[in-house]
Amino acid sequence: MIVRMWHGRVASEKAQAYREFTNQRAIPDYQSVPGNISAYVLERREGDITHFITLTFWESLEAIRGFAGDDLEQAKYYPEDQDFLLEFEPRVVHYEVVGKS
């Protein structure tokens, strides 16, 4: 199993709206791709900035390719992200899951 991890920063005043957007748009998009096991969005407020981490769990790198395309480490953005994100980090990271409870 592979985890794909993305990080984004949003002005805290927009955090609730961004949370709603991710739950209504991004998570269903991940779940629609064959090989997606699950998706989680983490949120941490740090003053005027709120950090979001998206963790998506996949059966394989090939499954991630079905979501992300051939450049597996390129971040995928939605047009609506322009309304929320303070920057567009170009890359994501992947981790192999080697332990599970």
Position 101 in a domain = no
- The domain tally of the chain equals 1
Residue 38 confidence (pLDDT):
96
Please provide residue 85's backbone torsions phi and psi, each rounded to the nearest 5 degrees.
-75, 140
Q: Structure tokens of 73?
A: 């480490």
In this predicted structure, what is the pLDDT of residue 100? 82
Across the chain, mean pLDDT equals: 96
What pLDDT was estimated at residue 45?
98
**pLDDT the model gives residue 101:** 83
- Pairwise CA distance, residues 41 & 27, whole Å: 9
Residue 30 within any structural domain of the chain? yes
Residues in the chain, pLDDT under 70 = none
Strand, coil or helix: 31: helix
List strands edge to edge, sheet with 93-96. Answer: 36-46, 49-58, 2-11, 93-96
> Which domain, by its residues, includes 26?
2-96
The pTM score is 0.92
- Give the closest residue to 68 by CA, choosing from 29, 42, 97: 29
